[in-house]
Amino acid sequence: MLEGFLTYGLNYNARLVEEAGLDPDNPPLTWEGCLDWHRALTKFDGAGNLLQIGLDPYDAMGSYFGADHGGAFFPLSWGFKWFDNDARTFNLNNENTVEALDLMGEFYRIAGPDNIGGMRQVEGQGTWGGSFNTEAQAMIIEGYWHPGETMTEKPEVGVHNRATWAPVPEGRKGAKLAGTSLHYVIFPKDGKNSEGMFKVAEFLCTDAAAEIVFNAHGWLPPRPSFLEKVDPSVYPGLDFYFDAVPQVTDWVVPARCEIMGFVDTQFGVLREAVYRGEMTAVEAAEEFQRRCEEEYQAAGFA
Amino acid sequence: MSILRSKRLHVFPSQFRSLLPGLLFVSPWLLAFVLWTVYPTAASLYYSLTRYDLIQPPVFVGLKNYIEIFTNDPHFGRAVYNTLYYVGFSTPLGIISAFLLASLLNTRVVGRSVFRAIFFFPSIVPAVVTAMVWQFLLNVQYGAINSVLRGLGLPAIPFISSPQLAKPSLILIHMWAQGSAMVIFLAALQDVPRALYDAAQVDGANALQRFRHVTVPLCTPVILFNLVMSFIEGFQNFTLPWLLTQGGPNQATEFYTVFLYRNAFIYLRMGKASALAWILFVIIVAFTVVLFKSSARWVYYGGESE
C-alpha cells in the first residue's frame, strides 16, 4: 500500500473566516454550526452574483457513496448504516436521510443552486479543491491530503488552512468521524515483467519514496514507522489529522453494495431535486429507497 | 413441367473462378465488416435479451429489459423528452443557420475564402476542445461572457448550470459547429444554374423571390441529406453534454445516449443498455423513413418528370 490515512476533516481558510468576523480558533463541529458559518462566509456582489461560498456539503469527500473513497459520508455523519452487507437490504428511507437532505440542501439554497453548479463545473475537471485554492470556497470536507495539496499547489492559500472534525448533526455532537482509503500498487495476474514491477513496488513502499511523495503532494503511507518521522507542521492543518487518530469515535465501514454506481448517481439526482425544491426530503428519501431496491432486484442481486 | 420454375442461383465453376479475385480483393473489408459491425450488432441484440454486468456470464431474461424500460424506468421518459427537445430545435435551427451562412458565402465578397475557412473551422475542432472552449465562455463563475457581465454590474447568466438554460445553450453550441453542413450547402448552391437566376430576374423576381423560388427548391436534395444526417447526429448526441454538464443540471441534459452510457458503464447493466441501443436504432430508422417518405412532397430532383 502506497498511501492512506484519514479521509474526513473540515478544512477551512482561517483568513477568510477572520474576515467574515468569525473565530478561526472555534470552528463549528455540527452541521448547524457549519450553516451559520456558511451564511457568514457566502458573499454576493451588488448584482447578486456569487463571489464566495462557505461550504459545499456535497463537494469532495462530502459527496461520495462509493467504497473507493472510504464509504458514504452523510450516513457516517448521521450515524447509521445505509446498507446491510449481510442481509443485502437498504436503509435509506429514514428520518436521518430526511434531515440530512434538508439540512445539506439549505447550504445550496443560500448560495443558489445554479451558482454552485457553475463552480462545480469548473472544479469538476479533475481538480478537487479547486474552488478552495481560488478562495471562492472557505470550507471543504476533505481528508488529510488537503493541507499538503493546498500548500504545494497554492502556498499563499495553504498557509491559512486549518482543519477540525467533520460536522455531525446537533444530536450527535461530540462524535468524531474518520475513515480511511488508500492507493496501492496492483499486479495484474498475467502481467509482463512482474519481477521488475515488484522491485518498483518495493521501492515505492520505502521511506525514501514516501518522503518524495510527501514533499511533492503531502500524501502519506499508512506506516506508523514513517508517520513518526513526519513533521506535520510543514502543512498547516495536517497536525489535526495526526492528533485525531486516538480520538476517533466513529470509523466508517464501507458498504459492499453491488450497485454502488447506481446509488451514487441517484443520490446526486435526488439531493438536487430537494435543494431545487422539486421534491421534499421525505419524498426523496422514499424515492431513494424504492429506486435502489428495484435496481438491486432488476440487476439480479436481490 | 411448369413454366414457373423456381429461381435458383446457379454459379458455374467458371463463373466462380472469375468471381474469386473480386472476393479476395474485398475480403479485408468483408472480414472487418463481419468482425466489427455484424458481430457486435448481433451480440448486442443477444445481450439486450440478457442480464449482463460484464463480471458474471449473461443470463437470458427474454424481453424483461425492454419491459423494464417502457414500464418501470422514469429516467427513460425524461431521456426521450430531452433528446426530442434537443433534436426538435437543434436540427432545423442548425440547417437554417448553415444554409444562410452558405448563401452569404456564395456571394462575391472580398476575403470570401477566409470567411469560409473561419466558419468551417468549428466543425473540425475536436469535441473535447469544443467543450473546454465553451466551458470557458459560458461558465457562470469564471466564464468570459459572465466576467464581462459582472464587470458591468449585471447578474451573471447560468448558461449551463441552470436547468432552464442548459439545453438551449447546447443548441447554441450546435449551431456554432455547422461548418460541415455549410460546406455541403455551398457546393449545392454553386451547382444552381446561373441561367435560372437570369431568367427569374428577367421575369422581375427580386432577390428574396429568387432565393425562395430558385435557390431553395434546387437545394432541397441537399437539404434532405443534411436533415437526415443532423437528425441522426442529434439522436446520438453524447460528447458535449457528457463533458459540459454530465447530464445535469437536474437531469436537464440527460439525453438518450447519456442515459444509455450510464446504464452500460456506471450501472454495469449491459443488457439494459443494449436494449436501449436497439430502441434508439428503431427510433432513428422510423424518423428517417418518415423523412424520406415526406421528401416526395418537397424535394425537387432536377431532371425528373412531373
Between positions 109 and 148 of A, the ones with CB within 8 A of B are 113-115, 117-119, 121-122, 124-125, 136
More confident position, A246 or A194: A246
Tell me if B251 and A269 make a contact (CB, 8 A cut-off). Answer: yes
Report yes or no: B67 at the A interface, CB cutoff 8 Å. no
Is the separation of the CB atoms in B255 and B237 below 8 Å? yes
Report yes or no: A35 at the B interface, CB cutoff 8 Å. no
Tell me if A117 and B135 make a contact (CB, 8 A cut-off). Answer: no
Residue A118 pLDDT: 76
Cα-based torsion angle of the residue sequence B200, B202, B207, B212 in order, rounded to the nearest 10 degrees? -20
Residue B108, sorted as left (phi over 0), alpha (psi -120 to 50) or beta, turns out to be beta
Report yes or no: B268 at the A interface, CB cutoff 8 Å. yes
Identify whether B89 is part of a domain: yes
In terms of CA atoms, which chain A residue is nearest residue B59?
A300
- pLDDT > 90 in chain A, percent: 74
Domain containing A81 — which CATH number? 3.40.190.10
Domain containing B154 — which CATH number? 1.10.3720.10
Residue B1 pLDDT: 45
Number of domains in chain A: 1
For B250, which of A45, A136, A276 is closest by C-beta distance?
A276
Q: What is the DSSP string of B159-202?
A: TTTSHHHHHHHHHHHHHHT-HHHHHHHHHHHHTS-HHHHHHHHH
Q: Are strands A89-90 and A250-251 parallel, antiparallel or unpaired?
A: unpaired
Tell me if B156 and A49 make a contact (CB, 8 A cut-off). Answer: yes
Number of domains in chain B: 1
Residue B300 pLDDT: 87
pLDDT per residue as tens digits for the range A258-282: 999 999 999 999 999 999 999 999 9
Grid coordinates belonging to B262: 450510464
Residue to test with chain A: of B267, B270, B272, B276, most A Cβ within 10 A: B267
Contacts of B129 in chain A (CB under 8 A): none
Tell me if A114 and B250 make a contact (CB, 8 A cut-off). Answer: no
Cα dihedral B294, B297, B298, B301 sign? positive
What's phi and psi for B278, nearest 5 deg?
-70, -35
More confident position, A65 or A187: A187
Residue B306 pLDDT: 45
Residue A252 pLDDT: 86
Q: Which residue range(s) make up the domain with B102?
A: 64-298
Identify whether A226 is part of a domain: no
Of the pLDDT bands very low, low, confident and very high (cuts 50, 70, 90), residue A190 is: confident
Report yes or no: A104 at the B interface, CB cutoff 8 Å. no
Identify which of A3-7, A49-53, B80-84 has the greatest average pLDDT: B80-84
pLDDT at A218 over 50: yes
Tell me if B141 and A119 make a contact (CB, 8 A cut-off). Answer: yes
Contacts of A279 in chain B (CB under 8 A): none
Q: HEC profile for B33-70?
A: HHHHHHHHHHHHHHHCCEECCCCCCCEECCCHHHHHHH
Residue A152 pLDDT: 95
Identify whether A213 is part of a domain: no
More confident position, B302 or A241: A241
A118 vs chain B: nearest CA distance in angstroms? 5
Residue A185 pLDDT: 83
Identify whether B19 is part of a domain: no
pLDDT at A125 over 50: no
Grid coordinates belonging to A164: 477540525
| Residue B36, CB-side half-sphere exposure with 13 Å CA sphere | 6
Cα dihedral A212, A214, A217, A219 sign? positive
Is the separation of the CB atoms in A249 and A31 below 8 Å? no
For B135, which of A121, A262, A298 is closest by C-beta distance?
A121
Mean pLDDT of A254-260: 89
For B68, which of A121, A261, A298 is closest by C-beta distance?
A298
Report yes or no: B72 at the A interface, CB cutoff 8 Å. yes
Give, for A183, the enclosing helix (H) or strand (E): strand A180-183
Report yes or no: A272 at the B interface, CB cutoff 8 Å. yes
Cα dihedral B225, B230, B231, B235 sign? positive
Compute the radius of gyration of chain B from its Cα atoms.
25
Residue A270 pLDDT: 96
Grid coordinates belonging to B166: 442548459
Classify A140 as helix, strand or coil. strand
Grid coordinates belonging to A126: 479533475
A124 vs chain B: nearest CA distance in angstroms? 10
Report yes or no: B150 at the A interface, CB cutoff 8 Å. yes
Report yes or no: A46 at the B interface, CB cutoff 8 Å. yes
Residue B2 pLDDT: 47
Tell me if A114 and B249 make a contact (CB, 8 A cut-off). Answer: yes
Which residue do the cell numbers 461558465 mark? B139
Tell me if A45 and B150 make a contact (CB, 8 A cut-off). Answer: yes
Q: For helices B127-138 and B144-151, give the axis angle rounded to 10 degrees.
A: 10
- pLDDT > 70 in chain A, percent: 94
Residue B113 pLDDT: 87
In terms of CA atoms, which chain A residue is nearest residue B54?
A299
| Cα separation, A188 vs A58, whole angstroms | 34
| Least confident stretch, A103-112, A183-192, A216-225, B194-203 | A183-192
Pick out chain B residues at pLDDT < 70.
1-11, 303-306
Residue type, A127: T
Identify whether B305 is part of a domain: no
The DSSP bridge partners found for residue A162 are: A12
Report yes or no: B154 at the A interface, CB cutoff 8 Å. yes
Q: Which residue range(s) make up the domain with A63?
A: 8-173+255-298
Cα dihedral B251, B257, B259, B262 sign? negative
Report yes or no: B243 at the A interface, CB cutoff 8 Å. no
Identify whether A202 is part of a domain: no
| Cα separation, A238 vs B224, whole angstroms | 64
Identify whether A197 is part of a domain: no
In terms of CA atoms, which chain A residue is nearest residue B271?
A299
A50 vs chain B: nearest CA distance in angstroms? 8
